[in-house]
Chains A and B, each alone.
Chain A
C-alpha cells in the first residue's frame, strides 16, 4: 500500500473541518496579525487618533440624543461612561463582524494564488482587532477612573470584573462565527452583503448598548433576551459599575450560541473555501 500524505478530492465530508491544519499554520496567523497592526499604523499618523476620536464623537452624540433629548435612563451612571461602556465592546464586535464577513471577497486575490487554511484570515482579523479594542479600552478606563473618583459616585466595581476576559472571548467568538457563516453565504448569494451592513447597525438597537435592560418594557424584554450579545454588554457594564443586571444564565446562553455558531460557520466555511474561487 502506498502512503500518500495528501489527497485532493472533489468534496470532503461535512465533518472534516481540518482544524488541525489551521493549528499548523498558527505562525501565519500571528504574522497576519502583525501585518495588520503594522500596516494600519504605518500608513497614517492619524490612524490611532481616529480610534479615540470615533468613540468620543459617538458618545457625545449619544449623550445628546438618547440622554438629553430622549431621556433614556442610564441607571444613575454618568451618561458618557454608560455609553462608552456599551460601545467599547460593541465596536469590537461590529468591526470584527464586518471584516470577517467579507473574508472571501477581500482576500480573493491572495486566495486565488496560494493555498493556506482560509480560516487563518478571519481568525487573524478577530485577533488584530483586539489591539484596537485595547486602545479603546484604555480610553474607557480613563473615563472610568475620572468618574470613579468624583464625589458621590455610585460606581462600584465588583468581582464580575474577573469575567471581562471571558466576555471579550465571547464577543470575538460570536463575531468570528457569524462572520465566517456570512462570508460563506455571500459568495453564493451576493445580495446578502447589503443586508448585513445595515443589519449589524440595526442589531445595535436590539442590544443594550444605549439603554439598560431594566429600561425595557416586559413585553419586549424577550426579544432582547434572545439576543446573545445582550448579556455580554450588560455583564460588562455591571462588572465595572455595579449597576444593571448580571444574569449567569444569559452568559451560558451566549456561550452556547458562540459554540453553535462557530461550528456551523466552520462547516459552511470549509465547504465554500474549496470552490469559491470559481464563483467570486
Chain B
C-alpha cells in the first residue's frame, strides 16, 4: 500500500488519539531526556546488584567514639551534608541535616528498655539512618513520587522533583529525613565535587550510597566502619553474609511492629556473627 506523507500523518494522528499504536511509536523513539535508545546504554559491569539491599549493624564492633565518628564523617563528607553550627561550636539543631547518626538505645528502640537496665546499655549509641523499608510510609504519602522504591530495595529521593511539603517527614516513623530549612551550601566545609549539593526547600536522606553501588563500591559508611561493624549485602541472596546473620542470629529492627519492614538489622550482643 502506498501512502503519502499527508495520509501517514492523518492515520498516525487519529490512531494516536484513539490510543492505537502510541506505544509502538514511543518504544521506537529514543528517550526524550538522554536522546539515547535504551539498548544503546551500556550497563556498568562493575555495578553491585541486588534484589534487596540490607544492612546489619553489629554493635559489638563499635568500641570508641571515634568508631562512630569515622562512619558519620565518611557519609556526610561524601554526600555534602551541611554542618550548621552555633556560635559556640555546638550543632545548630534548628537547621541540622543528618543522614546517619547515633541515638541512645532507649531512644532508637522506645519501649524496649526497662527500668532495671543499666545506664551503659540504655545510653549505648546505636547508628541510625534511613531503614529503606519494604513498605515505606514516606513513599506512600509523597504527592509527586519524589521519593520512591528502586527495584533493589533502596528508598530513593529525587531532590529535583521534591516540592518540600515534608509529608515524608511526618510519615517516617524513624525521623530519618532532613529538610533544608535554608541554603545548605554555606555550611558545607569541603565540597565533594563528585556528588551534588542540594538547594533549600527539599528533603534529603541516606540513599544506601546508590551512586557508589553503581560503580562497584560499597557504601561509604561500610568502608569507614570497624571491621565487621557494618555488613551490607543482598538479603534475597541465601549465600550473602547479611542473609546468614539475619537467618542465624538474634537481630532486632526499629519499630518493626509498624509493618514498614525496615532493612537495617541490629546485633545488640557481643557474639561473633556467622
- Do these two chains interact? no
